[in-house]
């Protein structure tokens, strides 16, 4: 029903906006909660056991994270008498809140729900989950001052490594995208305390790249790497562009995805953290491997039978093509 859909999407926007605008922990928590409750019916709209299971998993993790956040902020108010987001000073609630937000966006080692949940959803809801749902927790993470740097660095490095290693073993595209998301979030968290503006830049470029990747897979109607082998017959022009989009996600120059990685490594080196920068750059190689594997499956393998006679050579969905064109162009040539 379009009315219900509009209400849910409005709730989704409202929750994030409330969190953005809040300076009080209780309001921030309320925004996150509205956000979670609005996306749950969207996730369960396909009455398939997998979708319901994914929704349940998502609900439980988000509720746990929200409860942790509420607990940490009340503890902070109890210890320091402050409800203000900027005024967090006590290390215990600070650590707890950082971990709660990490669980909300799916940073390693609290990442295990993300691939499972994303696998149960269709690509559109998956796209909302991978992009929009990350905004509110990130707004809070950016506002918290004086977090222990070791925690953030550990979370960031663990995420880049887990995002690389986990994706190597997957054949399902949505799980690969989930691990890719974990790796990208790790890069953002690594640089969070040294240069928040770089975190925002990385988040924005990640949004653009993820948007185009999800739209490409949606247009191809492909859910696994095997299904990509016949995508040449479905949309030849798009298929020849897709490896560039994927390599941009992997962070190869001269594509857009190289920009945040380049600047982050430069900033880490400026902070005398060369070993950290080296480790992060090496962990990016892991992610690069599975992006290359997907590109290989799409463009360098012949489809097993001749499907050219039966497939339509035009895009079936006109409402996809404009955002797809904008997103792919931005993904490939913004650098």
DSSP of 189-244: HHHTTT-HHHHHHHHHHHHHHHHHHHHHHHHHT--BTGGGGGHHHH-HHHHHHHHH
In this prediction, residue 312 carries a pLDDT of: 56
Q: Kindly provide the b/e burial profile for residues 186-199, where b requires at least 16 CB atoms within 10 angstroms of the residue's own CB.
A: bbbbbbbbbbeebb
DSSP letter for 121, please: S
Cβ–Cβ under 8 Å, residues 153 and 52: no
174 or 325, greater pLDDT: 174
The answer to whether 147 and 94 have CB atoms below 8 angstroms apart is: yes
Q: What is the dihedral of CA 50, 52, 53, 59, to 10 degrees?
A: 140
pLDDT tens digit sequence for 157-208: 999 999 999 999 899 999 999 999 999 999 999 999 999 999 999 999 999 9
Give the three-state DSSP class for 335. coil
**pLDDT, tens digit, for every residue of 57-97?**
999 999 999 999 999 999 999 999 999 999 888 999 999 99
The pTM is what? 0.94
How far the first Cα of the chain sits from its last, in Å, is 41
Q: 316-324 long-range contacts, Cβ below 8 Å, gap at least 24?
A: 317/219, 320/215, 320/218, 320/219, 323/211, 323/215, 324/212, 324/215, 324/216, 324/219, 324/238
Is the dihedral angle over the CA atoms 152, 286, 244, 112 positive or is it negative?
A: negative
What band does 156 get if pLDDT is binned at 50, 70 and 90?
Answer: very high
CA distance 237 to 173: 20
Bridge partners of 51, per DSSP, are none
In this prediction, residues 204-214 reach a mean pLDDT of 97
């Amino acid at each position: 029903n379009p009315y219900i859909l509009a209400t849910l999407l409005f709730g989704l926007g409202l929750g994030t906006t409330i969190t953005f605008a809040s300076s009080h922990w209780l309001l921030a928590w309320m925004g996150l909660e509205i956000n979670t409750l609005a996306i749950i019916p969207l996730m369960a709209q396909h009455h398939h056991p997998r979708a319901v299971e994914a929704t349940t998993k998502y609900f439980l993790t988000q509720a746990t994270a929200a409860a942790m956040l509420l607990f940490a902020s009340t503890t902070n108010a109890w210890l320091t008498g402050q409800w203000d987001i900027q005024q967090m000073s006590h290390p215990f609630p600070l650590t707890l809140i950082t971990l709660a937000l990490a669980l909300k966006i799916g940073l390693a080692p609290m990442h295990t729900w993300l691939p499972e949940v994303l696998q149960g959803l269709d690509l559109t809801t998956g796209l909302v989950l991978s992009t929009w749902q990350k905004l509110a927790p990130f707004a809070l993470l950016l506002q918290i001052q004086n977090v222990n740097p070791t925690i953030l660095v550990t979370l960031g490095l663990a995420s880049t490594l887990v995002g690389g290693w986990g994706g190597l073993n997957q054949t399902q595209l949505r799980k690969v995208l989930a691990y890719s998301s974990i790796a990208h979030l790790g890069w953002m968290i690594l640089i969070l305390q040294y240069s928040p503006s770089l975190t925002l830049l990385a988040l924005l470029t990640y949004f653009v790249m993820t948007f185009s990747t999800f739209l490409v897979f949606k247009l191809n109607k492909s859910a696994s790497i095997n299904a990509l082998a016949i995508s040449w017959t479905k949309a030849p022009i798009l298929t020849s562009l897709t490896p560039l989009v994927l390599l941009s996600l992997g962070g190869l120059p001269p594509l857009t995805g190289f920009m945040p990685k380049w600047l982050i490594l430069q900033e880490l080196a400026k902070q005398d953290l060369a070993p950290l920068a080296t480790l992060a750059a090496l962990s990016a190689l892991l992610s690069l491997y599975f992006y290359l594997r997907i590109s290989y499956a799409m463009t360098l393998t012949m489809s097993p039978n001749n499907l050219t006679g039966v497939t339509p050579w035009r895009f079936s969905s006109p409402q996809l093509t404009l955002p797809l064109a904008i997103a792919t162009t931005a993904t490939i040539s913004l650098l």
